[in-house]
Structures are given as structure tokens and as C-alpha cells.
Amino acid sequence: MAEKVKINPSILQWARKTAKITEEQAAAKAGVSLERYQAWERGDDFPTISKAQKLAHDFRRPFALFFLPDVPRDFQPLQDFRRLGSVELGTGSAFIIREIQQKQAWISELNQENGEKPLPFVGKFSSKDKPEEVAVDILHTLQIDPSNYSSSNVIKDWISAAERQGIFVSRTSFIHSKLTLGSNELQGFAIADPFAPFVFVNSDDWAAPQLFTLVHELAHLWIAKSGISNEVEPVTPDRAKFHPVELFCNEVAASALMPMDLLHREVSADFSYRYEDVFSLARRLGVSAYALLVRLYKLGMLTLSQYGILKEQADLGFQQFLLKEEQRKAKQKDSEGGPNPYLIKLNKNSRLFTQTVLDAFRGGVIEPTQASYLLNVQVNKFPKLESLIYG
């Protein structure tokens, strides 16, 4: 008979609950009956070593944690700024938030130990300030000119600019093959720490909403409001369902991505207000046609009638875009066998975080096992990550 291990049942229960996993799901993962699993959480019975290791893996907790005498202090939950009526955060969201919190805590401690100064832009403003002023400061700090991006990949330009200023940007929608993140549940979140600010963007969205989410989360840093967001978008109706902080950060994002003076230059007297022209301008700015229409309407540059007509065309254009995207992704998967797994890990970890960990590892500051744990990559595969950073 396989040897059983006397784990702490209270910690087993805590690990399951913080992973947003039900008793039924945990029993199925362990391959035992519900009654047997419940006996483990009561302490009436104990799992075998292999079963306990399997549960530790499924709950994303170190196996040794099960043997502590008391439930450890976990990271404090981030404030939930999501829209009223949002679905409860699931297992995937719990895992990605915890993972980013662990990375953020490590890099913040490292930066403080190295005598790094706090970043002056974190908490520089509050939600009582004017969104336009915050937007101008973001553009100035990141040295971004929305009228003159350096490439056609606008979100990449923004991420590179943010990471040059010490902001860690993580992007993924992928936990593992059977666990992904839906953007309706979690679109992004921010940890506004002055020594290691971290931003997460759910890449389940297409490029334009991802960019808007990124700048929205940057606004959270500028007003020092750590928290979780979903349904990040320019808002016209139903504002009551949105948290005031979210409305403020939306205004900041809209002002940064679509500055008023730029729009007045672009939408001059000879602007036709045809959907093709609106779409072309939105594409150059890296935003959705809908986001641009809302911005133009709020600035009084569109009548309500014009807005309504163009909004219908934008909705139709978006459906056609989604169809083309599905076809493109299917074709890419067939020809390339899917995305590069190391590029996925690099984007998930943040390029800046990956580079920092690799530098610490190469400099002997951290052990190979810790570096591997932080990056979730085997040490002998580090060159694959490095080739993507510096290649």
C-alpha cells in the first residue's frame, strides 16, 4: 500500500479555496471520491505522497506548504474595480493574480535592497485631478507621441516605453492548455508599488482593446490605485455600473491615446466623416473605431446622429474583423503549429522582469532553482528566452 503523508488539513482546505476550486473538482483532480477527499480536509484520513503532490500542483502551491503548522499569510486581494454584476473571479484569474503578486513582491524587495529610488510617477496624481493632465504626464514620462509611433505595432511601442521607465508589463490569456482567461472576467490589473509597478493585460482581447486596457492600467499606477479591471472601454451610457476610479482611468486612457489637439488636427474641415476615414484614423492611433467615435462624440466633434450612423457601421466592421481574425489564426496555426511557447512565457513574465531575473542569475545573486521558479522555465532553456529578448 502506498505511504500516506500527514499533511495539515486546514492548509489543504485553504489552498483549495484560494485556488477557486470546489471540493468536487479537487476530488476529480486527485482521482478519488468526494467522500475520501472531504476526509482529507477534515483530517480523518490522509492522501498518499503522489496524491498530495498532485494537489499541490493543481492548487499552484509548494508541496512543503502542506506541512506547515498554520495557514500562512497570503497576498492581500487586489481591490475589485470591475463593473457591477461581473462574474466571480475563477481559478485562472486567481492563479495569474497570485503569480504576478509573487513576481512583483520579489522584484520590489530586490530593487529596495539594491538602493533603487521609488519611481516618482507612481501616485503622482489622484482621481480628483483632471484626466487630461494625467494623460499628458504619462505621454511625457514614457516619451510617446501618439501622432508619430515608431512602428505599426502600437501596443509594442507602449510596452517598450513603459518597461524602459521601470514598469513591468505582463500579457497572457493562457494558464495552461485547459485553463484560459476570459476578458469578460478579467481584462487587466495594476499593482501600484513605487519600487516595482506591475501591470497585467489579458491578451484574450484583440490588439486595440489590449492597448486601451494597458493605458487604463497605467493610469491606475499614476493615481496609486492597485486593483482589478474588466470591460475597460470608453463609456457613453450606463455609467452608474462603473466604479468612479474606472471611469477616471478610462478618461485618462482616451486622452492619452487620442489627444484632443491631435484629433482637431486630423479631423479638419475636409474630414468626410465616412466610416472608412474613421477606421483609418483609429488604426493609425491603435484604438478601435468605437473608442474613437466615443471620443469624438464627447469632444463635440460628432453629432448624435453622426455617432449613431457610424456606430452601426463600426459594429458591422467589427464582426467582419473578428471573422477574418479567426480565419487568420486558424491558418497560422496550421502553417506554424501554434505560437512560440517561449515567446508566450516571455510576454507572461514581462520582458523587463525576465531580463532582471536572468541578470540576477548570471550575476550569482539568485540560485538556479529560484530563477527557474520565477520564470517557470528550466535553466537549460534560459538561452531560448534570452534570444527572444535580445534577438
Total Cβ atoms within 10 A of residue 177: 6
Q: How many structural domains comprise the chain?
A: 3
Based on the domain organization, do 240 and 147 belong to the same domain?
Answer: yes
Determine, yes or no, domain membership for 22.
yes
Q: Is 112 domain-assigned?
A: yes
Tens digits of pLDDT across the chain (391 residues) = 578 889 999 999 999 998 999 999 999 999 999 999 999 999 999 999 999 999 998 998 888 889 988 888 877 889 999 888 888 888 889 899 999 999 999 999 999 999 999 999 999 999 999 999 999 999 999 999 999 988 888 999 999 999 999 999 999 987 777 788 887 889 999 999 999 999 999 998 788 889 999 999 999 999 999 999 987 766 555 667 788 999 999 999 999 999 999 999 888 766 777 888 888 899 999 999 889 999 999 898 988 888 888 888 888 877 877 777 677 666 655 555 567 888 989 999 999 999 999 999 999 999 999 999 999 999 999 999 988 887 5
Q: How do the residues of the chain divide into helix, strand and coil, expressed in percent and rounded to 5?
A: 55, 5, 35
In terms of domains, do 63 and 88 share one?
no
Q: What is the pLDDT of residue 260?
A: 94
198, 224, 257: which is the final residue of a domain? Answer: 257
**273 Rama sector, left if φ>0, alpha if ψ -120 to 50, beta otherwise:** left
Instruction: Specify the pLDDT at position 237.
Output: 53
Q: Which residue has the cell 492522501?
A: 47
Q: Are 350 and 342 in contact (CB under 8 A)?
A: no
Match 529560484 to its residue by C-alpha cell: 370
H or E element: which one contains 217? helix 207-222
Q: Is 266 exposed, middle or buried (0-12, 13-18, 19+ CB in 10 A)?
A: middle
> Are both 107 and 203 inside the same structural domain?
yes
> Based on the domain organization, do 99 and 248 belong to the same domain?
yes
Considering the domain boundaries, does residue 372 fall inside one? yes
Same domain, 22 and 54: yes
Whether residues 35 and 88 share a domain: the answer is no
Whole-model pTM: value is 0.87
Q: Is 330 a domain residue?
A: no
Do 46 and 90 share a domain, yes or no?
no
What is the CB neighbour count within 10 angstroms for residue 94?
A: 20
> For 242, which DSSP code?
S
Query: Is position 27 within any domain?
Result: yes
Q: Which of 207, 236, 257 is the last residue of a domain?
A: 257
- Statement to judge: residues 214 and 117 lie in one domain: yes
* Cell numbers for 185: 472576467
The verdict on 59 and 124 lying in the same domain is: no
> Is 305 part of a structural domain of the chain?
no
Say if residue 147 is in the same domain as residue 61: no
Q: Is residue 333 one of the residues assigned to a domain? A: no
- Can you give the residue range of the structural domain that contains 357? 341-390
pLDDT at 234 (0 to 100): 64
Same domain, 119 and 184: yes
**Cα–Cα distance, 61 to 200 (Å, whole number):** 21
What CATH number is given to the structural domain containing 17?
Answer: 1.10.260.40
Residue 282 inside a domain? The answer is: no
103 with 40, same domain: the answer is no
Residue that terminates a domain, selected from 45, 67, 89: 67
Phi and psi, residue 81, nearest 5°: -95, 10
